[in-house]
Amino acid sequence: MPRGVLPPREFLVDRALGIKLAEAIRAHGHVVHTLRSIYGEECAQEIADEAWIPEAAFLDRVILTKDDAIRRFPPARDAAFASGAKVFCLPSAHMTTVQMQERFLHNLNRILQRAQKSGPFMYAVDPDRLRLLWPIGQR
């Protein structure tokens, strides 16, 4: 692999982000799973964060989510932390699908670079940077 080019990764896109983001990341050469593709339509809507996050972390999948509330909901936060999850989230739920997709794609190289490090961590995906949300003071 040429110097400076990061290897393809496996991602898990949360249910709230939609299939368009998954397709856009696949177009960049990465493997992308959705909760629907793993658990089926019905179960994807019902599965708790504390169930799917550790499974994704165990498989070293980079988690993309719209839900930064994971860090404030103890069962999900504890599951993410204990499993070493690598989570990238949007800090605002008030965005269109297109805006969410643009934000993740604009930061894709930054996400790939951070995802090479060991978890657990959660970064907010801001317009032009990633911002560490937890663990504070670790990176």
Q: Which residues neighbour 12 within 8 Å (Cβ) at sequence distance 6 or greater?
A: 32, 33, 34, 35, 38, 52, 56, 61, 62, 63, 64
pLDDT at 6: 67
Question: Mean pLDDT, the chain, as a whole number?
Answer: 89
Model confidence band, residue 1 (pLDDT cutoffs 50, 70, 90): very low
pTM: 0.91
Q: Residue 105: is its pLDDT beyond 50?
A: yes
Q: Map out the domains of the chain as residue ranges.
A: 10-124
Q: Judge if the upstream peptide bond of residue 74 is cis by omega within 30 degrees of 0.
A: no
